[in-house]
Structure 1
Amino acid sequence: MTAEKSNQYYAKLQDIYEQTPVLIDIHSLLVTPSGISNDSPRRLLAAWGQNLISFLLLEITRKYPVLNMDMLSGKENEYLQKVSSFIESHIDSKSLFFNPHGLVDDSLVNEKLKEFPNPAPTGDEELIMIYQFIPRIASAISLPETVQWRFLYQLSVEWQQQLVLGKFLLFPRQATRELLETFMKGYQNKRQRHHWNAIRWGAEYNRYYQSYLAQGYTDMAARGKARRQFVTSHPYPKTAAELLEDQEYPGTTAAAMRRYHTAFLAAKSSSDVTEELIRK
């Protein structure tokens, strides 16, 4: 990778830093339904409730995978049994899935909101925080429309505040920055390695090619024989042991040879790259 290209990547990285990036669980953004112009507040509240149930179930399955069930406390096991019973009783209902557009059966969802088990026994702050919205929504469904609209606004604000406070951040700002730096360094190293491999393989191919030209072969014949010699010099792994070796293998098609040769010729003509460096 050229210095100019490298500088472009770091400039882009700096621009990203200035935007204070974080990684957030996208499902937490799906909880707020978009709705349509003629939606009633009752329908939107029901959609909120359905999405919260879906999100809460998703978080529960993440926190308590089946493989770790033997490590749970008695209260946690008891709670998960209640959740399992809840799912089984509504397994044929679409009300267990995210519905970002607000098209729901509000009376059916209201029943689910009242039935969903309270995660308080688990002591998990995140699950409890998510759940505390559910009984509030269930109560608001029976309120007058004007009050419901006000409550929907308040609900959206509070949910966004939870996102800002980092409740659903997969990585906070500093961790996101470190992740970006790690990725960028790895990406640059990979590109740099591929770039130099192409030059190195192009130099090898060029030696074969020039040798055959010197022997009097036509350009096309010299290229063909150079490619065949290159393929012979780089056999692909055939055994399991060879496959496990940390070794990079070049492409051997005619197109790959042209790409390597072009990279070599471009590097050779550059004042920053010497023949000695290419041969290393």
Structure 2
Amino acid sequence: MARRDFSASRIPGFATVAVLVFAALYLPIMMLVIYSFNSGDSIAIWEGFSFKWYPVAWNNEQVREVTFRSLTIATVASVIATTVATMAALGTTRRRGTKGQTFIYVMINQPLMVPEIVTAVALLIFFASIKVATGYQGLGYLITAHAAFCIPFAYLPIRARLEGMDRTLEIAAADLYATPWQAFRHVTLPLLMPGIAAGLMLAFVTSLDDVVITLFVKSAGQDTLPTYMLAQIRRSVSAEVNAISTLLLLLTVILLTAFFLLTRKRD
């Protein structure tokens, strides 16, 4: 008998389970997008097709304010996180193995393993003591908290890129009397840029949609777009929230598509 390679798709019921999983994941999102074009106020009753909720959301001054604040925090936090993650990735991949390197790797990725609520409470206690001592109540706390939480998200693609890079060119640069900085600037950094860009986008998306840490760290009047939407839903769910969610979904899809294109292996 001819040998048949194993394929999970041949398992009885595999296709049914796959369809159910995808339906559970994407049907709610599809319904959200569809009802963002509902002409009526209800989110459950279709009353006709209309774009009216998008201008309503755009003309809402509070929505513009929290959106600008969210983009500002996400941009600054992702830049900080990516810079730190790049240095950490270089430190853990471009040096000889030392004792404790596994511990260092675990500590860098610790926010991914610890429940987010634990990190949020820890940051609340830490920043509360600083607020009492300094009296400062600005966005610096949110930016710092988001940057710290986003470091492992930026670190993973950057480290993966470094581990997949051939060190021959770096060694050749050193043989040609390039200083470590020259070798990094002209050889390592250009080759590493796709990983850095991917880490930056992943950190940006993670910061942009964070709710738990933001709720614990923010001061009064520092709502971001996700926390604003959460507050609106607690009062009443309107199609305006659907429109905002759809635009946020579109931005996330664009960034994740770019992330995939940057990190996929080329033949």
- TM-score, length of structure 2 as denominator length: 0.26
- Report 1 or 2 for greater relative contact order, CA contacts < 8 Å, sequence distance ≥ 6: 2
Structure index of larger Rg: 1
